[in-house]
């Protein structure tokens, strides 16, 4: 019974992103029986995304964990940096999801779109997260729009809002250290989580257990937002 609910045998999954959370999801999906292609640093131009999917002709599950992050002081946030963050987190998400839907429609088996987002998209957690928080809010909106438009094709679209999960360091060159509520230990009722706490949520959404879940943003933050 558990395998029929949570097993992924016979499913083809594309997982995008180089972070620890995408790695944990890829590992769990493989354990659950999926054939996994893990594209850690793909080219997220239109041509690059098309080439990525040309190598994955049949697809049941897309997990989008491609992300550019980093806090910037307001007066030091250039529009070039703003555009760089949004190019991956919103434009890249759209290109991946659109191509995934096109691929899923060809084989007619339906499918699952899963975006890795952040609680910072709905609740500011770090100072200076102007570009990152707003771009992830855009990812959330895309998640809901695809959920509405693709439901008739049997394709469900959901997001996981990750928080309280120390995973990947901020990129080199960020001009400010991370400060704000997300750096206050007393704001974490259950302490910090791990990437392995996120992966089972992705498995639920990807498997038969998540068949009737669509257009949702599921928070995995150990209670941060209630503290």
C-alpha span between 160 and 70 (Å, rounded): 19
The CATH number given to whatever domain includes residue 171 is: 3.40.50.720
Which tokens hold the place of 133? 């928080």
Torsion of CA 51, 112, 136, 41, to 10 degrees: -30
Name the residues annotated as catalytic. 130
Share of the chain above pLDDT 70, in %: 100
Q: What is the domain count for the chain?
A: 1
The number of angstroms, rounded, from the C-alpha of 136 to the middle of its chain's C-alpha atoms is: 9
Which tokens hold the place of 217? 């943003």
Q: Looking at residues 173-197, what average pLDDT do you find? A: 89
Question: Could you report the per-residue pLDDT of 12-44, keeping only the tens digit for each?
Answer: 999 999 999 999 999 999 999 999 999 999 999
- The model's confidence at residue 168, banded by pLDDT at 50, 70 and 90, is confident
Q: Domain range spanning residue 26?
A: 2-226
pLDDT at 201: 98
Query: Do 163 and 183 contact (CB within 8 A), yes or no?
Result: no
pLDDT at 166: 79
C-alpha span between 89 and 3 (Å, rounded): 33
Would you say residue 122 has pLDDT above 90? yes
Query: Do 45 and 66 contact (CB within 8 A), yes or no?
Result: no
- The model's confidence at residue 170, banded by pLDDT at 50, 70 and 90, is confident
Task: Tell me the average pLDDT of the chain.
Answer: 94
pLDDT at 181: 92
Question: Could you report the per-residue pLDDT of 54-97, keeping only the tens digit for each?
Answer: 988 899 999 999 999 989 999 999 999 999 999 999 999 999 99
C-alpha span between 6 and 209 (Å, rounded): 6
pLDDT at 177: 84
C-alpha span between 178 and 161 (Å, rounded): 19
CA proximity to 70, closest of 121, 128, 136: 128
Greater model confidence, 186 or 216: 216
Burial of 173 (0-12, 13-18, 19+ CB in 10 A): exposed
C-alpha span between 188 and 38 (Å, rounded): 31
Burial of 221 (0-12, 13-18, 19+ CB in 10 A): buried
The number of angstroms, rounded, from the C-alpha of 181 to the middle of its chain's C-alpha atoms is: 22
Element (H, E) at 131: helix 130-150
pTM summary value = 0.95
Element (H, E) at 38: strand 35-39
Would you say residue 171 has pLDDT above 80? no
C-alpha span between 26 and 23 (Å, rounded): 5
pLDDT at 173: 75
State the Rg of the chain over Cα.
Answer: 17
CA proximity to 143, closest of 93, 177, 187: 93
The number of angstroms, rounded, from the C-alpha of 217 to the middle of its chain's C-alpha atoms is: 11
Question: Could you report the per-residue pLDDT of 89-121, keeping only the tens digit for each?
Answer: 999 999 999 999 999 999 999 999 999 999 999
């Amino acid at each position: 019974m558990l395998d029929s609910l949570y097993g992924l045998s016979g499913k083809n999954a594309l997982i995008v992103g180089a972070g620890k959370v995408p790695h944990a999801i890829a590992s769990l999906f493989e354990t659950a029986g999926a054939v996994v292609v893990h594209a850690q640093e793909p080219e997220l131009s239109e041509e690059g995304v098309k080439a990525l999917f040309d190598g994955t002709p049949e697809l049941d599950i897309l997990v989008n964990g491609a992300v550019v992050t980093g806090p910037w002081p307001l007066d030091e946030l250039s529009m070039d940096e703003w555009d760089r963050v949004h190019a991956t987190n919103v434009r890249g998400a759209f290109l991946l999801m659109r191509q995934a839907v096109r691929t899923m429609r060809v084989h007619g088996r339906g499918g699952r779109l899963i975006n890795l987002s952040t609680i910072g998209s709905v609740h500011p957690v770090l100072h200076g997260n102007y570009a990152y928080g707003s771009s992830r809010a855009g990812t959330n909106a895309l998640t809901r729009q695809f959920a509405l438009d693709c439901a008739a094709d049997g394709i469900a679209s959901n997001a996981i809002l990750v928080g309280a999960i120390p995973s990947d360091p901020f990129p080199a060159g960020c001009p400010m250290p991370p400060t704000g509520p997300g750096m206050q230990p007393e704001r974490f009722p259950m302490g910090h989580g791990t990437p392995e706490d996120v992966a089972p949520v992705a498995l639920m959404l990807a498997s038969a257990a998540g068949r009737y879940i669509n257009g949702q943003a599921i928070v995995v933050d150990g209670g941060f937002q209630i503290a």
